[in-house]
A and B are shown apart, each in its own frame.
Chain A
Amino acid sequence: MIGFPNLSSSLYHRLLISHMQIAGVAALLIFVCLLMSVYFEHSSSNMANVRLPASMATARVVNGIEASNSQLRSWVLLGSVDRIAARQRTWAEQIEPAMNELDALAADKDLAAMAVLRRMMEQLQESQWWVEEIATSAGNNPARLIYDRDLLPVYELLQRSVVGLDGDPGVGKYNSDIRLTTTMIQQNLSAAVRQLSEAMRTGSVADIKAFRRESGTVQTMLTRLSEQIAPGDDSRPLLAWIMREYHFYVQLAQQTIVVRQADDWNRALYILRTETEPLASAVKNTLGALERDYNELLQQEASRSALISRVGVILTLSMVVGLGIIAWAVARSNSNRLVAPIELLARASDRLANIEDPPVQLPVQGPREIAHLTERFNYMGRELTARTKDLQHATRELQAYTHIITHDLKTPLINIKGHAGLIKTQLQALEAIARDESASEQSVRQAVLRTVTEDVPESVNFIDLSITKTNTLVGGVLDNSRLLFRGIALENVDMNKLVEQVIALFSHRFPAVKIRCSTLPVVRTDPFLMEHVFSNLVDNALKYLDPGRAGQIEIRGESRAGEAHFFVSDNGIGLKDTKVDVFKLFEQGAAGSKGAGVGLALVQTMLTKLGGRIGYEPNDEYGTTFMFCVPLYHERLEAVAAGKSQSSPEIRAGEPVLQETGLLN
């Protein structure tokens, strides 16, 4: 599994932020969709669980009221007894449950309306009960009540009285006219009662007129009967009573007709029409308002949902496009910010590959990783450039070295070859003389003697010198080579002691030379190499002392800017030819030099290895002062000494360490 690098890595953060931005855009989109879904769910739930049931409940209540009123009217008009039970069932099974459901679903703002509705429903139920109650009572029809309770007894009494008149013991004295009249009275009275009963049933004016016609006939017949019966007849009081009762009868009939003609002749129907139905209508209106309210809310909810849906679709599409553009821009920006430095690095790498181009120093910017990479790239570029220079320098040095070696080694070899050839020539000449029979023995002897004593020894001497020089040159090369590849062992070196030992060594050999040394600093360096540096410089000073003066050598040192600076001055002959690079191998500062041109080259090699540098300048009066410096403490050297780095600072030219510590400035 590949893990992310260090979490504090800025590139990681940038990548993370970039991904999170894309994910955030997607999450925002999903969140918006989720919000809309939640709203739709809530709205649908509200519509399904509240609005629609409430609307349906109000519809059920309205239908129930319609049904109950219809059932009540059926009972009142048709007398269908089963309608009573049906009405009660409608209330118990339809209206009450729907009302309870409405109560449960009513919002706070509907509670007052529900309370009013409840009261109205109670009134309606009570009103229906009263209508039902009245409809079952005889008094529901007051006209019929008067007719049955008051008028019919009078009628029956009248009939019996008229029959009694007809059946009077003195009937025999009545003629047929009186009999006919009483019979007609009975018939017309019966007809009148039937017409009145019909008028009660229908309420029709024609029936009432028919009754009045019949009752008028009865009145006429009674008047005729009164005329037919003699004034002193025994039946006159009965007739008078009959006429008085008939008068009551007509009054009662008239009262009955008046009541029947009144609007409320059927009290149940009247109450139903004037009270129950308007009340039911009011309840339905209230319910209708409530239902309209619920329907309106339902419609608003649906409209809002549709609007939200449309807006949501548009918003989602817009967000998809907009956020896609934003995501693309963000991704592009992030990619550019990430890729641009890398591309710059790639181009810089191309330039770096071409050693002819000047080294590139990229601006350190961008994400931390990129900045760090750029910094390391710059460092690598510098290192590469420096090492390239070092390499070029080393190559040039190697070429020079080779040239020096070939040249300097060639010279003695040529001498050796020349003298060897000379010896060969001289020996051939000697052999020729010896073989010349004509030559005299003396001349031969002189020739041999000259060859053996003069020519050959001289050549042999030259050959010996050349070999010695070659040997010296090879030794110097070997020493230099050993120093180049020797490891470094750093320690805190008290330079006073080290120099004291060197001085002691030379004082023994050159007791006449005065070597002085001031206080020197403690340096963390390689004591072996440092001793060689001082030995070579002191040896070099001793070699070139002026025989005309007492030799003096002075060694000084100081710490400055993180470096230890040392000075070795002498009052010797000094460097005559300042154009000569005395630190170059086999270069010599003066003709007839006593050295082989190896010592100072070794010194420079050792100081370079120790991260230092060297120079010289002639003194004002006599001699020369060699100056060199080494770092008091060098981190890189520590790493090299510890074997942690493959780099060896001694081969670098203008290396960063020296730049950083200001050695070269």
Chain B
Amino acid sequence: MNSFLSLVIVAFCCCLVSNPGVAETTPTEVYLQVLQVETEIDLIRLEMGVAKVDKSEIAVAGVQPREVYFQALTLFEKTNRLLFEQLRENEEPPNRLSTAIAPEDVLNIVNRTLELLLRVKRSFGIEETVAVVPPKKTQTPTDVFQLIIRLNRTLNTLLQRRFASPDVYQQLTYGVGLVSTILATVKSANRLGDEPALMRRKKPADVYRKLISIYTIIQQTMMLSSEQCMVIKIAEDERDRNDVTSGDVYDLTSLLVFELSYLHSLVPGALAARESYYPGDKLPSHVFQRAGRLESQMKALLGYVTTHPGWLENK
């Protein structure tokens, strides 16, 4: 009965999105739907006997719908893996949108994720439902973003094969391909950047910090290109935290790569980025090395954009 109710809610939301006569989806509505997802994940987590993730949230500001969308895609990806692990079923991932992303696009991804979760929930024979309490205040994309980040962390703990360094490495390699195609439009030499030497004994936290520095470069590049970009705020005392997992790194990497994908979509004439493949066993040190290459590429791009701030306009 509860499952039926959930399906009704999902169907209702879908109708809201698809009906053009209805007003545009607001972040609050998306937030409400993500809360529903959180409820279902918590039920599954409880059923699987996994402890709740207790980590401080990443302080972000100025989150754009596209960034929420990117995190929602990660949420769908993890849910899909959970579905396979539990039901041996796979769903086709949604087509990635890169431009003109609205809250309703996020809502679509969230709804599909919720659908997968309900199937998992059914496989476990969970019949309980928890009513979602609508938030009292108006929610912003930042709120939605932080909530999805939290869900991603939780989902990572539910997986038998968790998102780890190889997945981060694969994502970063895709990011290298994206920046490479961007650089190909502005410079011809050394588009792949310089890969630093392998440094042993790197931890996910090291990679995390490296990714944040890369993200800062991306942010500067976006700002110079007159594009809005989310700001990640990390307190000084959080910089040295070592409880960062590979799943966290993956989430940040996904966000970073999606930002790059967005930037890539703004560059006319940029060739499609290469597909990256599962690399097999990779250590955080390998990921750190690959992140170093991406950082080298981004510095080159930033150097170009600094001297050519109107580079996107001229194209």
Neighbouring A residues of B180 by C-beta, 8 Å: 126
Of the listed stretches A127-135, A175-183, A420-428, A455-463, chain B binds A127-135
Determine if A139 and B191 form an interchain contact, defined as CB atoms under 8 angstroms apart.
Answer: no
Determine if A248 and B277 form an interchain contact, defined as CB atoms under 8 angstroms apart.
Answer: no
> Chain B residue with minimal CB distance to A121?
B188
Known: A138-B278, A251-B88. 11 other contacts (CB 8 A): A122-B184, A130-B177, A137-B280, A138-B166, A138-B277, A138-B279, A138-B281, A139-B170, A139-B279, A154-B88, A267-B275
Residue from B189, B278, B280, B281 in contact with A122 in the complex, judged by beta carbons closer than 8 Å:
B189
Neighbouring A residues of B280 by C-beta, 8 Å: 137-139
0 or 1 for each of A106-136: is its CB under 8 Å from B? (1 = yes): 0000000001001100110010011001101
CB distance from A75 to the nearest CB of B (A): 16
What CA separation (Å) do A118 and B177 show in the bound complex?
A: 19
Determine if A142 and B188 form an interchain contact, defined as CB atoms under 8 angstroms apart.
Answer: no
Determine if A139 and B277 form an interchain contact, defined as CB atoms under 8 angstroms apart.
Answer: yes
What CA separation (Å) do A119 and B186 show in the bound complex?
A: 11
B126 on the A face (CB < 8 A): no
Determine if B188 and A137 form an interchain contact, defined as CB atoms under 8 angstroms apart.
Answer: no
What CA separation (Å) do A123 and B188 show in the bound complex?
A: 9
4 closest A-B pairs (Cβ-Cβ)?
A139-B277, A138-B280, A139-B278, A137-B279
Which residues of B (24-54) have their CB < 8 Å from a CB of A?
Answer: none
**Residues of B participating in the A interface, judged by any CB pair closer than 8 Å:** 84, 88, 161, 166, 170, 173, 177, 180, 184, 188-189, 191-192, 274-281
A296 on the B face (CB < 8 A): no
Which residues of A (276-334) have their CB < 8 Å from a CB of B?
Answer: none
> Chain A residue with minimal CB distance to B180?
A126
CB distance from B54 to the nearest CB of A (A): 30
Determine if A140 and B277 form an interchain contact, defined as CB atoms under 8 angstroms apart.
Answer: yes
Q: With contacts A119-B188, A122-B189, A248-B88 known, is A130 near B277, CB below 8 A?
A: no
Q: With contacts A133-B173, A245-B88, A248-B88 known, is A149 near B188, CB below 8 A?
A: no
> Chain B residue with minimal CB distance to A136?
B279
A210 on the B face (CB < 8 A): no
Residue from B161, B189, B191, B278 in contact with A137 in the complex, judged by beta carbons closer than 8 Å:
B278
> Chain A residue with minimal CB distance to B189?
A122
Determine if B188 and A122 form an interchain contact, defined as CB atoms under 8 angstroms apart.
Answer: yes
**Residues of A participating in the B interface, judged by any CB pair closer than 8 Å:** 115, 118-119, 122-123, 126, 129-130, 133-134, 136-140, 142, 145, 149-150, 154, 245, 248, 251, 267
CB distance from B120 to the nearest CB of A (A): 15
> Chain B residue with minimal CB distance to A118?
B188
Determine if B278 and A149 form an interchain contact, defined as CB atoms under 8 angstroms apart.
Answer: yes
What CA separation (Å) do A129 and B184 show in the bound complex?
A: 15
Determine if B173 and A145 form an interchain contact, defined as CB atoms under 8 angstroms apart.
Answer: no
Neighbouring B residues of A145 by C-beta, 8 Å: 277-278
Determine if B274 and A130 form an interchain contact, defined as CB atoms under 8 angstroms apart.
Answer: yes
CB distance from B125 to the nearest CB of A (A): 14
> Chain B residue with minimal CB distance to A137?
B279
CB distance from B301 to the nearest CB of A (A): 15
CB distance from B26 to the nearest CB of A (A): 40
Neighbouring B residues of A137 by C-beta, 8 Å: 170, 276-280
Neighbouring B residues of A142 by C-beta, 8 Å: 277
What CA separation (Å) do A119 and B188 show in the bound complex?
A: 6
> Chain B residue with minimal CB distance to A249?
B88
Neighbouring B residues of A129 by C-beta, 8 Å: 192
Determine if B191 and A126 form an interchain contact, defined as CB atoms under 8 angstroms apart.
Answer: yes
> Chain B residue with minimal CB distance to A271?
B274
What CA separation (Å) do A149 and B173 show in the bound complex?
A: 20
What CA separation (Å) do A87 and B162 show in the bound complex?
A: 36
Interchain Cβ contacts under 8 Å between A and B, 21 examples: A115-B188, A118-B189, A122-B184, A122-B191, A123-B184, A126-B180, A126-B191, A130-B274, A136-B279, A137-B170, A137-B277, A138-B166, A139-B277, A139-B278, A139-B280, A145-B277, A145-B278, A149-B278, A150-B84, A245-B88, A251-B88
What CA separation (Å) do A404 and B188 show in the bound complex?
A: 131
Neighbouring A residues of B281 by C-beta, 8 Å: 138
Neighbouring B residues of A122 by C-beta, 8 Å: 184, 188-189, 191
Neighbouring A residues of B170 by C-beta, 8 Å: 137, 139
Neighbouring A residues of B274 by C-beta, 8 Å: 130
What CA separation (Å) do A136 and B180 show in the bound complex?
A: 19
Neighbouring B residues of A126 by C-beta, 8 Å: 180, 191-192
Neighbouring B residues of A130 by C-beta, 8 Å: 177, 274
Neighbouring A residues of B278 by C-beta, 8 Å: 137-139, 145, 149
Neighbouring A residues of B191 by C-beta, 8 Å: 122, 126
CB distance from A389 to the nearest CB of B (A): 109
What CA separation (Å) do A150 and B189 show in the bound complex?
A: 40
CB distance from A166 to the nearest CB of B (A): 23
Neighbouring B residues of A150 by C-beta, 8 Å: 84
Neighbouring B residues of A133 by C-beta, 8 Å: 173
> Chain A residue with minimal CB distance to B166?
A138
CB distance from B163 to the nearest CB of A (A): 13
> Chain B residue with minimal CB distance to A120?
B188
Neighbouring B residues of A134 by C-beta, 8 Å: 277
CB distance from B236 to the nearest CB of A (A): 36
What CA separation (Å) do A140 and B279 show in the bound complex?
A: 8
CB distance from A156 to the nearest CB of B (A): 13
Neighbouring B residues of A123 by C-beta, 8 Å: 184
> Chain B residue with minimal CB distance to A130?
B274
What CA separation (Å) do A137 and B280 show in the bound complex?
A: 6
What CA separation (Å) do A119 and B161 show in the bound complex?
A: 42
Neighbouring A residues of B276 by C-beta, 8 Å: 137, 139
What CA separation (Å) do A310 and B244 show in the bound complex?
A: 83
The residue among B84, B161, B276, B280 with the most chain A CB atoms within 10 A of its own CB is: B280
What CA separation (Å) do A248 and B87 show in the bound complex?
A: 9
CB distance from B113 to the nearest CB of A (A): 21
Neighbouring A residues of B192 by C-beta, 8 Å: 126, 129
CB distance from B266 to the nearest CB of A (A): 21
> Chain B residue with minimal CB distance to A134?
B277
What CA separation (Å) do A137 and B191 show in the bound complex?
A: 21
The residue among A138, A245, A251 with the most chain B CB atoms within 10 A of its own CB is: A138
CB distance from A527 to the nearest CB of B (A): 116
Neighbouring A residues of B277 by C-beta, 8 Å: 134, 137-140, 142, 145, 267
Neighbouring B residues of A139 by C-beta, 8 Å: 170, 276-280
CB distance from A116 to the nearest CB of B (A): 10
What CA separation (Å) do A122 and B180 show in the bound complex?
A: 11
What CA separation (Å) do A183 and B237 show in the bound complex?
A: 60
What CA separation (Å) do A136 and B276 show in the bound complex?
A: 12
What CA separation (Å) do A136 and B279 show in the bound complex?
A: 7
Neighbouring B residues of A251 by C-beta, 8 Å: 88
Neighbouring A residues of B275 by C-beta, 8 Å: 267
Neighbouring B residues of A267 by C-beta, 8 Å: 275, 277
What CA separation (Å) do A136 and B188 show in the bound complex?
A: 26
> Chain B residue with minimal CB distance to A119?
B188
> Chain A residue with minimal CB distance to B275?
A267
Neighbouring A residues of B188 by C-beta, 8 Å: 115, 118-119, 122
What CA separation (Å) do A337 and B189 show in the bound complex?
A: 79
What CA separation (Å) do A145 and B277 show in the bound complex?
A: 10
What CA separation (Å) do A118 and B191 show in the bound complex?
A: 12
What CA separation (Å) do A136 and B192 show in the bound complex?
A: 17
What CA separation (Å) do A142 and B279 show in the bound complex?
A: 11
What CA separation (Å) do A119 and B191 show in the bound complex?
A: 11
CB distance from A637 to the nearest CB of B (A): 106
> Chain A residue with minimal CB distance to B282?
A137
What CA separation (Å) do A375 and B123 show in the bound complex?
A: 144
Neighbouring B residues of A118 by C-beta, 8 Å: 188-189
CB distance from A242 to the nearest CB of B (A): 13
CB distance from A496 to the nearest CB of B (A): 118
CB distance from A430 to the nearest CB of B (A): 165
What CA separation (Å) do A122 and B188 show in the bound complex?
A: 7
> Chain B residue with minimal CB distance to A125?
B192
What CA separation (Å) do A245 and B274 show in the bound complex?
A: 35
What CA separation (Å) do A138 and B88 show in the bound complex?
A: 21
What CA separation (Å) do A136 and B280 show in the bound complex?
A: 9
What CA separation (Å) do A118 and B188 show in the bound complex?
A: 8
Neighbouring A residues of B88 by C-beta, 8 Å: 154, 245, 248, 251
